[in-house]
Structure 1
Amino acid sequence: MDAASAFEALAETLGDGGLGALLGLPGGIILGLAARRARFCTLGALESAFYAEDYTGIRMWAVALGCAILGAFGLAAAGLFDPAASFHMQLQWNPLASIIGGLVFGYGMALAGNCGYGALARLGGGDLRAFVVVAVLGVSAAMTAGGPVAELRALAFPRVPVDPDAPLQGLAHALSALTGAGPLVFAALIAAAMLAWAFASAEFRAETGKWAWSGGAGAAIALGWALTSAQADANFEATAVVSHSYADPIGETILWLMTSSGGGGLGFGAGSVAGVWLGALIGSWEAGHFRWEACDDPQELQRQIIGAVLMGIGGVTALGCSVGQGLTAFSLLHWSAPVTLAAIAVGAALGLRQLIRGFHAV
């Protein structure tokens, strides 16, 4: 039985949504393990760089990005993934949505103490405060994507489909169009530069677990592209070609858990969400770090709820969170990714500054 036949058989048994969830699970587990075993964390990396001048976390992100870029463009060169079919390439880039959404998400991430991905990983370790963040973020994202906030979001930041004949949006594809060289050439150069910077530190090179799990996180992004592409190729119905993100998919997962009607909300994103939680649970349990924790500070809980609301709004507005834009869209070298990631960093810096100096600080 070839791959297409296997996918068709699984789709008949599980349904398209169930198959999508199954495909999202392994990459999610890898990301969950990376968070628990190597402390692969967006906010932690930014906080260490801002206040301790420790760039280990940033170097971990550079490794993850280098591997994700090489994986995505390598798959494309091998004919196993068409970037044009991806969610990000099918909508015209809205720079204002990237900037505003990224700033709101980053500020909310600082208030909440984690992004959606990080909160799922903490929940896998028994942190019940993270349960509140995940639940509120999911509801906020669902409200922004298709609920009462959706009309305002669509009015302020309209999503316009791209012209099918337009060139692909992104640095590597733009350079390819200018020079005639394949996009893989430029992607490989950019990825090599990121990896070279990361491994220029002898101290970081000695942290084998950190850079190995960071590479695994990048590989998980490429795996998502490969698996959803294979499902789309084997399916007669339209199947989204996506990879991992943790804003809108958390909301979709909550909706499916509440209704489970017709498979609505069940898909790759739900499997990825479950995978991160499961991988984090395995990682924390094996390391003996699993323990139940709850919030005993009402002000802390208030900040986390407000932060989670902002992350849901910002993540949907920007078409992705710190993972959805910072890794997944970045793996395509899409224009939106560095802009959104920079905006998230600025928003997080503002939020962290206020938490440290007090909200009266200007």
Structure 2
Amino acid sequence: MIITGLAVGAVLGIVMQRGRFCVTGMLRDIFLQRSWRTFVGLLIVIAVHAVGIAALTSAGVITPTYDNFAPLAVIVGAFIFGFGIILSGGCASGTWYRSGEGLVGSWIALATYALSTAAMKTGILSGFTAAMSSWETELTTLPALFGVSVWWFVVPFAALTAYLTRHFMIKESKRPKIARLGNQPAWKRPLHVYTAGALIGLIGVIAWPLSAAAGRNSGLGITTPTAHTLQYITTGDESYLNWGVMLVLGILAGSFIAAKATGEFRIRVADATTSVRAVAGGTMMGVGASLAGGCTVGNGMVQTSLFSFQGWIALLFIAIGVGVAAKIFLKPAAVAKKTNAQEGTYSTEQSIANESVTSAEDRVLPVTTSQAPVSLGGVKVATGLVSLKPAVSEKLRDLGDGYYALDSLGAVCPFPLIEAKDVIKTLDSGEHLVIDFDCTQATDAIPQWCATDGHEVTDFKETGDASWQITVKKG
């Protein structure tokens, strides 16, 4: 029966990858964008999950158990976890599915996450985990506290989520249409975050009875299965090879399949800063999730659906950790980004210098160079020594005629958006910003920003596997 975990995980990985479903980004948007739009996607997961679990429990199909709330472990652990997911660039499930997209930084974070989780649960740090968790209360769930049926919480919560979903969908319909990649078949287009949320909630409902049938009385989970995966690999003990391990391996496989099929897979090697942050972030994720009793899936999706104290308080302090770390680390670069040739990392054959797209609006720039110019989205640029007028920002290359290039290749989410928002402030209305990037999440984040802030996307195209170029006209 554990093979059903692989199937559920594969479907979950596909949906998460196609929906760019990242709880880290949802929480981060609250602080960086002052927007709750994507967070409603998480509420949809919880609502669908809550209705399904309540129905299965009422029918006697599953019998969830509830841990006593351990305030110190949950609060401290959730904060550490929230802080860590900013450093690692994704939450637990996000790290698994982004590993399937070829991000080496996520591989590093995943390895240290697995190692620290195993150490906290059964290894050298297990005593610390036990000590932090020793202070328990008798609180389990809100329905138990008030002595009422869980439906008294499920129905109002589902109604509130439906209202918020409708509210933000109406807002979306009234703003300019979001730019999408041109000439792309429907099956390659990303899922709307709300659609992805509803599907993930449904997958979570299906997962519970399948997991229970395999002897694991729980639903979706990432932290313990990640530790068990490492323990099985290192010890060969088949007791660790369970439904949860199949689930997380399925997420990796499903994400890879989805990314490969849609041209969004490419090995992207992290630079030194990203790698160091991934090590620290992955370690903090493992420590924090082990203390808190779960990650953004175990606590943020499953325990919240059970209306447990652990789930909702953990989600709150994960958000606080995200907010603090975002304030510290998520800032525009103070200096211009090095080119890929200078860094030797995150290289791509479809970079600016190699792009050769032509149009009827080709503009030849005044250059002094020993090499012939090439074309960038209809703008001819020199690849050698160039003499152009100074750019309005040192992060930009002046392409002439009011066009400026921003190289965000290699930057992980949310830095392509952060840098774009920073440099566009230096441009005049009507000038164009040409952004090259290879962060999958930015294919949605940048167009969303343009529509919200009144900028026009004049061109948006793929430039190769997991490489894109978008041209933004400042409004």
TM-score range, shorter chain: 0.7 to 0.9
Which residue of the partner structure matches residue 244 of structure 1?
A: 220
Partner SS, residue 83 of structure 1: coil
* 2: CA distance, partners of 1:288 / 1:172: 46
Contact 2:64–2:218 (Cα < 8 Å) also in 1: no
**1:200 and 2:167 correspond:** yes
**Structure 2: 5+ residue stretches without partners:** 179-190, 333-475
Contact 1:205–1:211 (Cα < 8 Å) also in 2: no
Query: What does residue range 268-287 of structure 1 map to in structure 2 within 5 Å?
Result: 268-287=243-262
For residue 54 of structure 1, report the CA deviation from its aligned partner: 3.2
**1:226 and 2:199 correspond:** no
Contact 1:252–1:265 (Cα < 8 Å) also in 2: yes
**1:172 and 2:143 correspond:** yes
Which residue of the partner structure matches residue 143 of structure 1?
A: 119
Amino acid at match of 1:50: F
For residue 159 of structure 1, report the CA deviation from its aligned partner: 7.9
**1:187 and 2:168 correspond:** no
* 2: CA distance, partners of 1:333 / 1:356: 32
Amino acid at match of 1:117: S
Which residue of the partner structure matches residue 29 of structure 1?
A: 10
Amino acid at match of 1:223: I
Which 10-residue stretch deviates more, 50-59 or 323-332? 50-59
Query: What does residue range 30-69 of structure 1 map to in structure 2 within 5 Å?
Result: 30-69=11-50
For residue 299 of structure 1, report the CA deviation from its aligned partner: 2.2
**1:305 and 2:279 correspond:** yes
Query: What does residue range 66-85 of structure 1 map to in structure 2 within 5 Å?
Result: 66-84=47-65
Cα–Cα, structure 1 residues 111 and 328, in superposed 2: closer, same or farther, change >3 Å? Answer: same
Which 10-residue stretch deviates more, 61-70 or 282-291? 282-291
For residue 205 of structure 1, report the CA deviation from its aligned partner: 7.4
For residue 204 of structure 1, report the CA deviation from its aligned partner: 7.1
Which 10-residue stretch deviates more, 274-283 or 96-105? 274-283
CA deviation profile, 1:201-239 (whole Å, cap 9, x unmatched): 2257769732222111111221222212334xxxxxxx3
Which residue of the partner structure matches residue 335 of structure 2?
A: none
Amino acid at match of 1:216: L
Partner SS, residue 291 of structure 1: coil
CA deviation profile, 1:112-168 (whole Å, cap 9, x unmatched): 1111211111111111221111111000000000101111221222287x9xxx8x8
Contact 1:248–1:312 (Cα < 8 Å) also in 2: no
For residue 298 of structure 1, report the CA deviation from its aligned partner: 1.4
Partner SS, residue 313 of structure 1: helix
Give the fraction of aligned pairs with identical amino acids, expressed as a percent.
24
**1:339 and 2:313 correspond:** yes
Which residue of the partner structure matches residue 12 of structure 1?
A: none
* 2: CA distance, partners of 1:46 / 1:62: 12
Cα–Cα, structure 1 residues 185 and 157, in superposed 2: closer, same or farther, change >3 Å? Answer: closer
Q: TM-score, normalised by structure 1?
A: 0.82
For residue 357 of structure 1, report the CA deviation from its aligned partner: 4.9
Query: What does residue range 93-108 of structure 1 map to in structure 2 within 5 Å?
Result: 93-108=69-84
* 2: CA distance, partners of 1:199 / 1:274: 35
Determine which structure has greater relative contact order: mean sequence separation of CA pairs < 8 Å that are 6+ residues apart, divided by chain length: 1
Amino acid at match of 2:209: A
Q: Count the aligned residue pairs.
A: 316
Cα–Cα, structure 1 residues 287 and 149, in superposed 2: closer, same or farther, change >3 Å? Answer: same
Contact 1:322–1:341 (Cα < 8 Å) also in 2: yes
Contact 2:108–2:279 (Cα < 8 Å) also in 1: yes
Partner SS, residue 305 of structure 1: helix
**1:353 and 2:335 correspond:** no
* 2: CA distance, partners of 1:301 / 1:311: 15
Cα–Cα, structure 1 residues 51 and 70, in superposed 2: closer, same or farther, change >3 Å? Answer: same
Contact 1:221–1:244 (Cα < 8 Å) also in 2: yes
Cα–Cα, structure 1 residues 155 and 309, in superposed 2: closer, same or farther, change >3 Å? Answer: same
* 2: CA distance, partners of 1:259 / 1:149: 18
Contact 1:64–1:215 (Cα < 8 Å) also in 2: yes
For residue 47 of structure 1, report the CA deviation from its aligned partner: 2.0
Q: TM-score, normalised by structure 2?
A: 0.63
For residue 56 of structure 1, report the CA deviation from its aligned partner: 2.8
For residue 300 of structure 1, report the CA deviation from its aligned partner: 1.9
* 2: CA distance, partners of 1:352 / 1:253: 30
For residue 174 of structure 1, report the CA deviation from its aligned partner: 3.4
Of 188, 192, 213, the residue aligned with 2:196 is: 213
For residue 282 of structure 1, report the CA deviation from its aligned partner: 1.8
Which residue of the partner structure matches residue 116 of structure 1?
A: 92
* 2: CA distance, partners of 1:159 / 1:259: 32
CA deviation profile, 1:153-198 (whole Å, cap 9, x unmatched): 21222287x9xxx8x82123434x25xxx32343222222223222
Which residue of the partner structure matches residue 315 of structure 1?
A: 289
Contact 2:44–2:197 (Cα < 8 Å) also in 1: yes
CA deviation profile, 1:325-347 (whole Å, cap 9, x unmatched): 00011121111111000100100
**Structure 1: 5+ residue stretches without partners:** 1-18, 232-238
* 1: CA distance, partners of 2:112 / 2:24: 19
Contact 1:107–1:348 (Cα < 8 Å) also in 2: yes
Contact 1:107–1:344 (Cα < 8 Å) also in 2: yes
CA deviation profile, 1:79-107 (whole Å, cap 9, x unmatched): 111123xxxx1x32102211100000000
* 2: CA distance, partners of 1:205 / 1:65: 22
**1:291 and 2:252 correspond:** no
Q: Which structure's CA Rg is the greater one?
A: 2
